[in-house]
Structure 1
Amino acid sequence: MPLRHPQSRFLPPRWLLSDQRNDTVLERALERLPEGGGFIYRHYHLPPQQRLARFRQLAAIARRRGHWVVLADSALTAREWGADGIYGAPRSLYPTRDLLTLATAHDMAEVAQANRMHADAVLISPVFATQSHPGADVLGPMRFRRLAAHAAMPVIALGGMTPASARRLQWPRWAAIDGLSGDTDS
């Protein structure tokens, strides 16, 4: 199946996600992210005007480093804010030709939804234990690979990912909140 967005074949191997927990270190984390990485801006905790202002601050840093900037919001908002793409659950995304579409999936049904909507990539999670959802069930490497095998697009591993867990998983693309926000290599 051909990739819908012409640039999706060049997806970065590392993706930093924003969160209330890592907000104070995002500038530094974006600077440390290897050039040409990906940045997914969520910041659901902020009111609309503050969310936009923070997006503009972080997007400027990301763009200077050659990072893709993806917004967890609608395609309309992503265009208005100047994002390169949209991110979210497949049932809430409406892909367009001008924006990269990154879907999230936690099970086979969501991977199938991402396939049907022709997402450019899917973030499958949680691979390992994560601070975002303490005590939640994790996929582990085997279940992650089973889900990834059913994806008709590139797969990005998410959940408890650090450089060390990425080596353990032996997966080319991965995303993190904490794992790319600090000095961790464990």
Structure 2
Amino acid sequence: MARCYSVLVKNRQPSLPKLWLISDARNDARLEHALARLPRGSGLVFRHYHLSPEARQTRFDALLRLARRYGHRTVLAGDIALARRWRADGVYASPERLGRKQGMLRLATVHSLRELAIAHRTGADALLVSPVFPTASHPGAQTLGAVGLKLLSARARVPVIALGGMTRRRARTARIARWAAIDGLS
């Protein structure tokens, strides 16, 4: 039975990227260059909360075309209905806002054991756990560190993507397989 389960899990998410670029007002001017430099099959989480809805969709459409040219998965921060309308590959949200499964990738943001439990109940496909290290996005925030990330990851039933102060060097040093960054990749 265990063997059948592992095959099902593999088939459920066969192309979950190991590396994710997170969009933000800070890295907007460098996104095209960053997408071109990412390894084929990486991921983009499009946030751009700073834009009006119309400008946000226009920017998303441009980056979606580019991401697909490089074979990247593109996930929209928001809700499933909006992600579906905008032709995203998935949605990125807090576990409470993920909504029900509807045939698209669902990435939950997790900062605590409580949010981890909610993400499990809502059936998230993967977790963006943060902040792992000090980050410009949340100056002075308490961080998990590599040990805290590993402890939280040990309780996860789905893949974990480390976020917060991540760089290639930190990922390599801490042996973190899946990670995401804003500044660290742009």
Name the TM-score, length of structure 2 as normaliser: 0.93
1:65-84 equivalences under 5 Å are: 65-84=70-89
Kindly provide the CA deviation profile for residues 26-70 of structure 1, in whole angstroms up to 9, marking residues without a partner as x: 000000111110000000010000000000011111000000010
Return 14-23 or 2-11, whichever deviates more.
2-11
Q: CA RMSD in A?
A: 1.5
Give identity over the alignment, percent. Answer: 52
2:102 & 2:81 partners in 1: Cα distance?
Answer: 13
Q: Which residue pairs with 2:176 in the alignment?
A: 171
Q: Which residue pairs with 1:184 in the alignment?
A: none
SS in 2 for 1:22: helix
Q: Which residue pairs with 1:114 in the alignment?
A: 119
1:140 & 1:53 partners in 2: Cα distance?
Answer: 37
1:43-54 equivalences under 5 Å are: 43-54=48-59
**1:103 pairs with 2:108:** yes
Q: Give 2:62's match in structure 1, choosing from 40, 57, 61.
A: 57
1:159 & 1:37 partners in 2: Cα distance?
Answer: 18
Q: Quick check: which one's helix share is greater?
A: 2
| Offset at residue 169 of structure 1 (A) | 1.5
Q: Which residue pairs with 1:92 in the alignment?
A: 97
- State the 4+ residue runs in structure 1 displaced beyond 2 angstroms: 1-7
Is the Cα–Cα contact under 8 Å of residues 5 and 97 in structure 1 kept in the other structure? Answer: no
1:79 & 1:164 partners in 2: Cα distance?
Answer: 35
**1:131 pairs with 2:136:** yes
Is the Cα–Cα contact under 8 Å of residues 95 and 119 in structure 1 kept in the other structure? Answer: no
SS in 2 for 1:86: strand
Is the Cα–Cα contact under 8 Å of residues 101 and 123 in structure 2 kept in the other structure? Answer: no
* Code of the aligned partner of 1:151: A
State the aligned residue count: 181
Q: Name stretches of at least 5 consecutive residues in structure 2 with no aligned partner.
A: none
SS in 2 for 1:161: coil
Q: Name stretches of at least 5 consecutive residues in structure 1 with no aligned partner.
A: 182-186
